[in-house]
């Protein structure tokens, strides 16, 4: 018996990185997993193949989270599978650029994906979960939402917005739907891009944490599993920080 037997979970941005790890973990625990991705069809298909090879159930659906019509189509497909129990609102992008070099187009691009995207996906998930006990929404934020960071101000602002969306939704949909966020620290994914990072810069990233290391996607998926499972029934509106001690809010 898996912790998520019989559950249907939608995970956005699930073709790689943290989303991929969460999809594989949830499937291992018995959930039927819907993987949403914007690009990287081959990568998404590989995640589905891995899950199916281990006896799990998964389907991959292409959708741009910033496009309302594509999100409505995504949820129409999810509805055909069954009632949605768990959403992991993971899709997002990062922008490293000094403020004075940041254009309005840069701002709009990032906010459309990180904030508009989480809003659209969260709205449609909560439309279906409203009033159903045991439903879970897990938004993916960042440790940078707490303290900010030079050259990342727009990204930090987008994740701060996710934190307040999380708290507002938790109040609006209580007591039936539990809404929480995960705010990871530096994690070894394509977004951090360790392979193309200088040794000096990689060491600096490690030193930002008191554990002096970069986290793994699996360490984030373990937190997501806890929030999706039966051990988190008294948690809502919380921002959980698996960050190696990079921030301690």
Do 105 and 56 touch, CB atoms closer than 8 A? no
> Helix, strand, or coil here: 36?
strand
Instruction: Determine phi and psi for 201, rounding to 5 degrees.
Output: -70, -40
How many whole angstroms separate alpha carbon 115 and alpha carbon 158? 6
Give catalytic status of residue 155 as yes or no. yes
Which residues have a Cβ under 8 Å from the Cβ of 159 and sit 6 or more positions away?
Answer: 114, 141, 142, 144, 145, 183
Do 182 and 196 touch, CB atoms closer than 8 A? no
| The one catalytic residue among 119, 152, 155, 169 | 155
Active-site amino acid positions? 155
């Amino acid at each position: 018996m898996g912790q998520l037997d019989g559950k249907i979970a939608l995970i956005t941005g699930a073709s790689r990185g943290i989303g991929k790890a969460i999809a594989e973990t949830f499937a291992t625990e018995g959930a039927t997993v819907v993987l949403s991705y914007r690009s990287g069809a081959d990568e998404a298909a590989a995640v589905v193949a891995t899950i199916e090879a281990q006896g799990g159930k998964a389907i991959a659906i292409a959708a741009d989270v910033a496009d309302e019509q594509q999100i409505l189509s995504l949820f129409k497909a999810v509805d055909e599978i069954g009632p949605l129990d768990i959403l992991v609102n993971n899709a997002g992008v990062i922008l490293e650029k000094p403020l004075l070099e940041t254009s309005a187009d840069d701002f709009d691009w990032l906010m459309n994906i990180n904030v508009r995207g989480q809003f659209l996906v969260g709205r449609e998930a909560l439309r279906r979960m409203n009033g159903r006990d045991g439903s879970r929404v897990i938004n993916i934020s960042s440790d940078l939402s707490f303290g900010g960071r030079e050259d990342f101000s727009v990204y930090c602002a987008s994740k701060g917005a996710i934190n307040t969306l999380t708290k507002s939704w938790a109040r609006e949909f209580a007591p039936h739907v539990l809404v929480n966020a995960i705010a990871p620290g530096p994690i070894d994914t394509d977004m951090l891009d360790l392979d193309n990072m200088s040794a000096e810069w990689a060491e600096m990233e490690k030193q930002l944490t008191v554990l002096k290391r970069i986290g793994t996607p699996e360490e984030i998926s373990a937190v997501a599993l806890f929030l999706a499972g039966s051990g988190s029934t008294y948690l809502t509106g919380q921002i959980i920080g698996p960050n190696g001690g990079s921030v301690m809010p």
